[in-house]
Amino acid sequence: MAKKIFIAATMQNDGKTTVSLGLISVLKKHFNKIGFIKPIGQRYLIEQGYKVDEDSVLIEEVFGIKCNIKDMSPVAIEKGFTERYIQKGPEEDYSKLIKDSFERVAKNNDLVIIEGTGHAGVGSVFDLSNAAVAKLLGANVILISSGGIGRPIDEVMLNKPLFDKEGVKIAGIIVNKVLPEKYDKVARLVRMGLEKKGLSVLGVLPYQKILDMPTVRDIKEELNLELLLGGENLDLAVEKILVGAMNVKEAIKFIQNNSLMIIPGDRDDMIRAISEIHTSKLKRCCRISGMVLSGGLIPVGRTRRILEKSKIPVLISEDDTYSVASAVHHILVKLKPQDTAKIKIIVDIVEKNIDIDNVLASLT
């Protein structure tokens, strides 16, 4: 029978997929065949005619995992699912779906990584919280929390009672996204604090800004924007987001390398200045990752020609400048199979900072 471990978190976006991906890579040295399942998914793609959680698709593509794609993501929570469940009850036996999928994945593998969704209580509304699913599959839990000293301890202790209630063992804690300049202090104190609560710390992972930086492609896809120019450079990372609404002379003082410029589409002066900064035609020279032109306005004539020569990726939005800036700011950066540089960083971080021997001892 395959070994298994459930990867949970104290909040959404604490880094479950990051840790799962890193662990699979490192544990491949110890297991010939590793399977993956995300029993309940909230962000799904259509793959082979099925609604499949995007994290399952990521893991399958990165590692070439040979499982039935639907078994890797048995329950996809689509729009209206929760309302229908509350009003009419379950349309299927979701517990059986999850258990049957898990057993098929486990049958052909030596280890199965089970990834939860959100905090311990997510899914309670349809009677399948992370804690309940971990119990259903008989798995110990590795619980991930983020940054600081007090915050991860508080959040772990907030989530722990739900796992305790279901009789699920927390095998250990991983604290993610710790600022590098505070790493030594946080690692020492958070270990002391959690050990006093009877919990083992399996690892403390340093924050890497690049992992939270979207690419221009991410912004295009998440906001469903039209590509005008520069499609060959869509995978440039965005480090800073700036709105080009003031006069040109003042605006260029704020521009840095890897900036995304959000500009009203009729600001020819600003568009030309940014293009020339990018192509080193002005005294101030910076690499611009991309532009989003708001208002559905498309440059023509000389401005268009300058943009084309710059090779800057240019996206068009029908929305006003403020709405575009707000939407870009709230984008959730999700890892994709083509993010090879980010994946390499993740594997390196996990290998260096997680106690793999203790992880191996926690498998059931």
What is the pTM for the complete model shown? 0.84
Residues 123-142: tens digit of each pLDDT: 888 888 999 999 999 999 99
The confidence score (pLDDT) of residue 15 equals: 85
The confidence score (pLDDT) of residue 137 equals: 95
Domains of the chain: 3-209+335-362 (3.40.50.300), 216-329 (3.40.1390.20)
The confidence score (pLDDT) of residue 325 equals: 93
SS3 label, residue 165: helix
Once rounded to an integer, what is the mean pLDDT over residues 326-355? 89
Name all contacts of 27-30 with Cβ < 8 Å and 24+ positions apart: 27/111, 27/356, 27/359, 27/360, 28/63, 30/111, 30/356, 30/360
Instruction: Name which of 139, 133, 193 is nearest 171 in CA terms.
Output: 139
Residue type present at position 174: I
> What's the pLDDT band for 189 if we cut at 50, 70, 90?
very high
The confidence score (pLDDT) of residue 228 equals: 94
Angle (nearest 5°) at CA 269 between 327 and 285? 80
SS3 label, residue 47: strand
Output the average pLDDT for the chain. Answer: 88
The confidence score (pLDDT) of residue 280 equals: 76
Residues 296-316: tens digit of each pLDDT: 999 999 999 999 999 999 999
Residue 340, pLDDT > 60, answer: yes
The confidence score (pLDDT) of residue 59 equals: 78
Cross-strand bridge partners of residue 45: 52
Residues 49-84: tens digit of each pLDDT: 555 667 777 778 777 776 777 788 888 777 888 888
Once rounded to an integer, what is the mean pLDDT over residues 155-167? 95
The confidence score (pLDDT) of residue 290 equals: 94
Angle (nearest 5°) at CA 210 between 209 and 212? 70
SS3 label, residue 176: strand
Once rounded to an integer, what is the mean pLDDT over residues 189-214? 94
The confidence score (pLDDT) of residue 126 equals: 85
Instruction: Name which of 198, 127, 203, 188 is nearest 160 in CA terms.
Output: 198
Counting residues of the chain whose pLDDT is more than 90, the rounded percentage is: 54
The confidence score (pLDDT) of residue 70 equals: 78
Residue 28, pLDDT > 70, answer: yes
The confidence score (pLDDT) of residue 11 equals: 85
> What's the pLDDT band for 259 if we cut at 50, 70, 90?
very high
> What's the pLDDT band for 277 if we cut at 50, 70, 90?
confident
> What's the pLDDT band for 352 if we cut at 50, 70, 90?
very high
Residues 104-117: tens digit of each pLDDT: 999 989 999 999 98
